[in-house]
Amino acid sequence: MFTGIIECLGELVGVEEDRENIHFHIQSSIASELKIDQSLAHDGVCLTVVNIKDDVYSVTAVQETLRKSALGMWKTGRKINLERAMRLGDRLDGHLVQGHVDQVGECVAVKDQAGSWLYRFRFTPENGKLIIEKGSLTINGTSLTVFDVTDDACSVAIIPYTYEHTNFHQLQVGDQVNLEFDMIGKYVATLT
């Protein structure tokens, strides 16, 4: 489980295809603190550390993960939002996040608001019932409050700290993002 509060950025320094899988090699300031078999959220996708060497660690994405996320489009040099799994007893500053991407969404608008930024994202209409005005949505692993919600889109406001300390500063119109809808909303939707 994660909170959607990004711990740091990593940089993708290598991509290695292995039949249907892809191994990602990520340079990070937290690499020396990691251990093999540890789970980390990478732009909201929970992946297991399989190798560590100096300040670079490796994770593997299987076909199912590649199919349901934007990971297959990653290129070296990309900045990746990283979050280690939450510890029981810690504060939950974001919301409950599983690291299981529900779908790939698209950034359809970015507006500089003189000190903050407004982003709009589009998703498939069947997931529109999982999101409510002022509810939570995880975008590339970042827990955010949404507004201007429609059946197939929503907006988020990004403060300067989040803009600088996540990969939102790289996002442009047309970019694909990993979306994980609120877990509680998904459970409620299954009951109706």
Fold match, 8-84 / 103-191: yes
Question: How many other CB atoms are there within 10 angstroms of residue 68's CB atom?
Answer: 15
- Six token digits for residue 124: 């498939």
pLDDT for 140 beyond 80? yes
Q: What is the DSSP letter of 86?
A: P
* pLDDT tens-digit map of 87-99: 887 777 777 788 8
User: Among the listed ranges 12-21, 82-91, 143-152, which one has the minimum average pLDDT value?
Assistant: 82-91
The domain spans of the chain are 8-84, 103-191
Q: Is 156 helix (H, G, I), strand (E, B) or coil?
A: strand
pLDDT score recorded for residue 129: 84
**Structurally, what CATH architecture does the domain formed by 8-84 represent?**
Beta Barrel (2.40)
Separation CA 24–CA 19 (nearest Å): 14
Does the pLDDT value for residue 192 go beyond 80? no
pLDDT for the residue 89: 79
pLDDT at 88: 80
pLDDT exceeds 90 at position 130? no
Give me the DSSP letters along 35-78: -TT-EEEETTEEEEEEEEETTEEEEEE-HHHHHHSSGGG--TT-
| Comparison of pLDDT for 185 and 138, the residue scoring more | 138
- For residue 90, the model assigns a pLDDT of 78
Instruction: Assign a CATH topology to domain 103-191.
Output: Elongation Factor Tu (Ef-tu); domain 3 (2.40.30)
pTM above 0.75, yes or no: yes
DSSP 1-22: -B-S---EEEEEEEEEEETTEE
Q: pLDDT tens digits for 55-104? A: 999 999 999 999 999 999 999 999 999 999 988 877 777 777 888 999 99
Distance CA 154, CA 127 (A): 11
